[in-house]
Structure 1
């Protein structure tokens, strides 16, 4: 991972000294919906069928509002957020999004019915999330709340059986050993600073952004930072949604007011310290299977996004370091999403 980060800086460092800032166009209000599918079988290098093996999500939202008071949201969400740093009154722009996310985790040997003590637990997570974002002048911050459940109530076993039936993959035999039902939550904060830009032509530009995030909860607690390099069109209006840690985030073009054709390639490196992860540590209040978490983790993300009219697509490939002691297969999965803007 350190070699990858060094390589990125060698490639992008010359751009930092040649910064060109384009005038930002006014953003109009824009609603969007997005479906995302992730699977480790789509990994570019050595695709597997274990670890974080499958994820599905539907997210929807609205941007861009000119003030915090203008955002239409439930009263309890406003009460929990209006006293925080995310409320900058009428300074900058705002977006609000919701999501329903399911994630599935399995050990390497799917044909073993008995508990595999030295591999990660079978675990499924089903999450509802709400996310507020404020952005202006190449700086963006966000506040997100995840609420959900881990265990049989997540319906992970049923989802994986259906998907494996469709793609004719192995039928997992060890779901009787999955984590027990437990409510989960996570509060997350993000900060992004786009510190370098270079126009290559009237339509195409590059930029570099620093990203950091921290979250706490029994679902997962961690903190980390990374850097993202992009090349493409419409970058001035899309920097606010850069997120190198997960492809469940909105397609960056959800923020774009132009309905023409736009595209981008991006590459990111991210490192974090993970304090706890229920899918590896096991249940919080009950005895369950667990393995030893590796606290220092990193990942490398390569992707492509585009928007043509009201439709957008995003493809990404994620390669990560080991997440627990004794991990056999690499952390490696691919993702695809399709979004509609209106």
Structure 2
């Protein structure tokens, strides 16, 4: 996986970066909301560089993709992500009826970011594996060993290994209005993803208030990878609230809830996908020069009809601009 990720980065970006590079590390975990079920946790690392965006390949791809404007800044980069899902009953060692199956998703990503003063597009290609090879069980055991989390006993029932590819795009706008020495922003966003993991469309709105709004386009949405940021001068701080609506036409983790046809797991995990979902987040972004910290709380509606209720998790994002 890591060898493939390195090859993907070289093909996409060409030369190594020397300036205006954004590194973003994100982690979200439902244990911070005192739950250990459904979407359990996810971690993502991305590196995006304007220098890489000046390569002939990146410029050619940016020109070919729809929606660009003259004068857009182009950045390119790569990422890696891992996430996993578990049922409500993590004590059971056998499949649990009307609950999701265990599942893990490990992937490398190619990223292209195209932006101007008021708009940012993030195009992403994810290539990886869903199943035991995604290493969710050893990662869960490692982190729960550190934080004394509960044991999850049903990993033998997780979705079986299969290669996975997904392509996604998100467009954000920002409309910054000065308010005294601070600023206010109403930022709509739309997104689309297609692949063997997920087929979905999103629309959302983020409201931000504080200082340093011009340095980014808001906190990355859960499951997304970060775009480019600007290096600020001194301290800045802003608060944000966001709401997102999603139409989910296909979700591998639910539509393939028991693994491949014929797996014994499938018979014990029959569930039906909730195709419309909502999500709301509250958070704070603090920055000092090149460094940025985001802390957020997210609550989402049910992802499948048999789910017991809404789900909550906390998020922490660290960013650095070189």
Q: Shared fold by TM > 0.5?
A: yes
- 8 Å CA contact retained: 1:36, 1:248: no
TM-score, normalization: structure 1?
0.80
Query: Match of 1:33?
Result: 23
Native 8 Å contact 2:229 2:321 kept in 1: no
Cα offset, 1:133, TM superposition: 1.7
2:202·2:246 contact (CA, 8 Å) conserved in 1?
yes
Contact 1:57 1:99 in 2 (8 A): yes
Q: Secondary structure at the match of 2:207?
A: strand
CA distance in 2, matches of 1:330, 1:190: 25
Instruction: Give distance in 2, aligned partners of 1:169 and 1:281.
Output: 28
What do the CA deviations read for 1:192-244 (whole angstroms, capped 9, x no partner)? 222x4321223x101101110011111101002011100121212322x554x
Residue 183 of structure 2 is aligned to residue 205 of structure 1? yes
| TM-superposition CA deviations, 1:92-118 (whole Å, max 9, x none) | 212223211100100011110011121
Q: Does the Cα contact within 8 Å between 2:231 and 2:290 map onto a contact in 1?
A: no
What is the alpha-carbon distance in structure 1 between the residues aligned to residue 219 and residue 145 of structure 2?
34
SS of the aligned residue for 2:139 comes to: helix
SS in 2 for 1:110: coil
CA separation of 1:242/1:34 partners in 2, compared to 1, >3 Å: closer, same or farther?
Answer: closer
Which one scores higher on RCO, CA 8 angstroms, separation ≥ 6? 1
- Runs of 5+ unmatched residues, structure 2: 1-17
Shift, 1:303, TM fit: 1.1
| In 2: Cα distance, 1:137 partner to 1:185 partner | 31
Residue 14 of structure 2: aligned partner: none
Say if 2:65 is the partner of 1:84. yes
| Residues 30-52 of structure 1: per-residue CA shift (max 9 Å, x gap) | 21322222110112xxx310001
Q: Secondary structure at the match of 1:140?
A: strand
Instruction: Give the RMSD, CA atoms, in angstroms.
Output: 2.5
Is 1:263–2:231 an aligned residue pair? no
Figure out how many residues of one structure are paired with residues of the other and give that number. Answer: 299
Q: Which residue of 2 aligns with 1:216?
A: 194
Match of 1:226 in 2: 204
Q: Which residue of 2 aligns with 1:323?
A: 303
Correspondence for 1:56 = 43
Q: Residues 318, 174 of structure 1: CA spacing in aligned structure 2 closer, same or farther, 3 A cutoff?
A: same
Q: Deviation per CA, 1:303-325, whole angstroms, max 9, x where unpaired?
A: 11121133221111110000001
**Aligned 8 A contact 1:114 1:174 in 2:** yes
